[in-house]
Amino acid sequence: MPENKVVIRAGIPGMEDGSAEGEHRYPTNTSDFVKLLREEGFNVDYEHEKLERTLVGYKAFDVWVPVLDFSLNVLANIPANIVATTIMNYFRATKRDLKDATLHVEYSVRKKNGDVIKFRADGASSDVLKAIEQFDRDVRA
């Protein structure tokens, strides 16, 4: 059976890198998203070893989704729907209200033929989720 894989990359979507040498920043909620992606059947790896990762959080109602890099062996599973579903599941699991949140999302899809398609959006949750849906339609076209 082909394996769907996602690598969590260092970085905070919508922010300058700001990493010091040997320090690789990840959003504090990264483990929550890793758990949700694994529940969706993804093999999840990190770009850096645990001791090299620095978790960064901000005091805001903004949600920084970890930088995701999908390698899909089954094109039918384009991850745009998975990203939107994972975001909605995150809000359900944390009992937060999605409608008033600001999202920061960045991910890439590595297709079977080697092409890499990137998505990035920051803004009101409804706008970002609509952009993810449009991206999904464009990729499938």
State CA 14 to chain mean position distance.
12
Identify the domain containing residue 95 by its residue range. 5-140
Question: Whole-model pTM?
Answer: 0.85
What pLDDT, in 10s, does the model give residues 65-74?
Answer: 999 998 766 4
Measured between alpha carbons, how far is 67 from 121 in angstroms, rounded to an integer? Answer: 12
Q: How many domains does the chain have?
A: 1
For 57-80, b/e burial (b = at least 16 CB within 10 A) is eeeeebbbbbbbbbbbeeeebbbb
- Of 17 and 35, the structure prediction assigns the larger pLDDT to 35
18-68 pLDDT, tens digit each: 666 667 999 999 999 999 999 988 899 999 999 889 999 887 788 999 999
